[in-house]
Chain A
Amino acid sequence: MKIMVCIKQVPAKDSTLRLTEDSTWIREQDLSYEINEPDAYALEEALRLKEKHGGEVVVCSVGPDRVQQVIREALAKGADRAIHLVADGGSRLDSYPAARLMAEAVRREGFDLICTGLQSDDLGFAQTGVVLAELLGLPHATIIMEVQAEDGRLKVKRELEGGWFQWVQMPLPALLTIQSGINKLRYATLKGIKQAKSKEIRRVIATELGLKAEELAGRQKLHRVYVPVKTKQTEFIDGSPKEAAAKLVEKLQRDARVL
């Protein structure tokens, strides 16, 4: 099976987040970066499918030179080669241009399966995968928690709300957006890190793909980013100890969602 995994480099979870002066994004010079979490699960799933069915895993990432960090990590974990679509804007690049770039770059590769993360940890649009599927004319399924591949077809388990799941059958080629927690992530091995150096990273710039600037223009505009204001509120629960306890449990479940 020839599989492509789209991986995005996003600000690391433990980064200090400070806003830019015009409050439209976070200050990039303060950030360290890491692989978007659902994408790491997508990569793991692809590697497992390859181990089971044979084939090739190719990772693709859109962004400036720094995204090579996540590309190398993916190669160290076992991906066979990579495509780096050079683009400024990095994590601010919205879904459509990112998907458009990837679609043009891989159209002729003929992948059997494309896996993306369900959504990105920074912008959280959950759009790139589905837009890419549309641009490539592929069937897609989202929020995937299990993948079975048999006789050129897929059986996939989608996560619905409230603890419900749905099994879907679909033909290949196809695109899946993978949910975090679908599998257990492997660690990069020391030998893998060493071998990654000799694996191919194809660098592609937008103009080589015959795309015009306006075709890559963002379709969304971020007007304002702000830090949520923390408030403290004290609430007294009345009633007998038994009633009060029941109310408290309900509040913890419903409102605070900690139970």
Chain B
Amino acid sequence: MEPQSTQSHTEQSHTNEDWQAIREAVGKLCRDFPDAYWREVDKQEKYPQEFVDQLTASGYLAALIPEEYGGAGLGIAEASIILEEINRSGGNAVACHAQMYIMGTLLRHGSEEQKRRYLPPIAQGDLRLQAFAVTEPNAGSETTRIETRAVRKGDSYVINGQKIFISRVKQSDLMMLLARTTPYDELTDKTRGLSVFLVDMRNIKGNLEVQPLDLMINHHTSTLFFDDVEIPADSLIGEEGKGFRYIIDGWNAERILIAAEAIGDGRWFVERAARYARERVVFGRPIGVNQGVQFPIAQAYAHIEAANLMRFEAAAKFERREKCGAEANMAKLLASEAAWEAANACLTTYGGYGFARDYDVERKFRETRLFSVAPVSNNLVLAFLGHNVLGMPKSY
């Protein structure tokens, strides 16, 4: 039998014309940034600036910004399709996905003045807000344990502490920062006492040291040292002490978008693996004839399609402003696992060539592994489901 197109079946039930148009338009843009481009930026650990510039100029990263602030005013499903399509075409949307969603904290909890000041230039691409500093050496999964302090002094806050794994700091003008404004021991409710700040890194007072981390992927992630960094008091977003709640509000959108990226990766792996299995001839026949080769690919495909349904379910609930924590987290869990399954199936199918950089499989393999660890570990997703959805004892 000839190959069916890998255009998915589940997708069609969700497809409307806009989604299709967005897919095609993003796909066209991505075609001008082929495998060789991503291979090269990966090898040289370069930021894919040309790609991000083009995507920005065409307004794709402003998908979620309301029209009144100069964005496209689209929903989470449309935004997720953009990121999915980038990964599906062989690229890596992680390089710029956060420009899409970090502004959500500002949009939901910022003052009108802050929104008017920052959102239009962010929508235009003149201001980059794609760094969100939460994780610390002593507080990864346990966010409420962060130690970086912000102390009010007159018209300023003075920040001291350390953050780790903070992505795209060097590719951002603004950084969203979660810092402690009340010491942990003084709190009865441990989810209080944290605040969110919008830090303008273009004119920093004090010393903010940025030390790039050497990672297994091309990710531009740094350790940050805050040494008496002084920021204007009006950098505070919303109310002091409510920062943890604000960032939780942003998690669902982030989970849905990450799920879409993983689905994009999964589709890339399945497409490549299926093609290679049809074409590679060993023992006088295509390797895809062997069910040992064929089934893992088909299995991964089925899992990706299932994750895809959960992602659109989460997106639909998100748009209707219903509770969607369970769905958004499950989408991220299922999609990251399915993508990893597809990555392994693809690598196995390619044999030794899977390890050769020229085939791009090893690059995507490294890249997609991230989604089960960051921005949240799948363990914590399960812990959340076990406790919040299934009512079992809290384990975190």
Q: Is the CB of B3 within 8 A of A73?
A: no
A191 CA to B18 CA, complexed, in Å: 11
Q: Is the CB of A188 within 8 A of B25?
A: yes
Q: Is the CB of B22 within 8 A of A193?
A: yes
The verdict on A194 contacting B25 (CB below 8 Å), with A16-B3, A72-B17, A189-B58 known, is: no
In chain B, what residue has the closest Cβ to A40?
B28
Interface positions, chain A 139-197, Cβ under 8 Å from B, are 187-194, 196-197
Q: Is the CB of B18 within 8 A of A197?
A: yes
Q: Is A32 among interface residues, defined by CB-CB distance under 8 A?
A: yes
A69 CA to B15 CA, complexed, in Å: 14
List chain A residues, Cβ under 8 A from B20.
69
Q: Is A2 among interface residues, defined by CB-CB distance under 8 A?
A: no
- List 23 A-B pairs, Cβ < 8 Å: A16-B2, A16-B3, A16-B5, A30-B5, A32-B5, A69-B21, A72-B17, A73-B25, A76-B21, A187-B29, A187-B54, A188-B28, A189-B60, A190-B25, A190-B59, A190-B63, A190-B72, A190-B74, A190-B82, A193-B21, A194-B73, A196-B21, A197-B18
Q: Is the CB of A76 within 8 A of B25?
A: yes
Q: Is B24 among interface residues, defined by CB-CB distance under 8 A?
A: yes
A191 CA to B24 CA, complexed, in Å: 14
Q: Is B315 among interface residues, defined by CB-CB distance under 8 A?
A: no
Min CB distance A39 to B, Å, is 14
- The DSSP consensus for interface residues of chain A is helix
Interface positions, chain A 217-248, Cβ under 8 Å from B, are none
**Residue interface bits B330-366, CB-to-A below 8 A is 1, else 0:** 0000000000000000000000000000000000000
List chain A residues, Cβ under 8 A from B3.
16
Q: Is B297 among interface residues, defined by CB-CB distance under 8 A?
A: no
A191 CA to B73 CA, complexed, in Å: 9
B72: which of A30, A191, A197 is its contact (CB, 8 Å)?
A191
Interface residues of A (CB under 8 A from B): 16, 18, 30, 32, 69, 72-73, 76, 187-194, 196-197
Q: Is the CB of A187 within 8 A of B25?
A: yes
List chain B residues, Cβ under 8 A from A30.
2, 5
Interface positions, chain B 19-78, Cβ under 8 Å from A, are 20-22, 24-25, 28-29, 54, 58-60, 62-63, 72-74
Interface size class of B (residues with CB under 8 A): 20 to 34
Q: Is the CB of A73 within 8 A of B59?
A: no
Task: Beyond A73-B24, A190-B74, A196-B21, list 4 extra A-B contacts (CB 8 Å).
Answer: A16-B3, A188-B28, A190-B72, A193-B21
A192 CA to B59 CA, complexed, in Å: 9
A192 CA to B74 CA, complexed, in Å: 12
A255 CA to B56 CA, complexed, in Å: 44
In chain A, what residue has the closest Cβ to B54?
A187
The verdict on A18 contacting B2 (CB below 8 Å), with A76-B21, A190-B72 known, is: yes
Min CB distance B353 to A, Å, is 22
List chain B residues, Cβ under 8 A from A194.
18, 72-74
Q: Is the CB of B25 within 8 A of A193?
A: yes
List chain A residues, Cβ under 8 A from B74.
190, 194
Min CB distance B382 to A, Å, is 35
List chain B residues, Cβ under 8 A from A76.
21, 25
Q: Is the CB of A190 within 8 A of B60?
A: yes
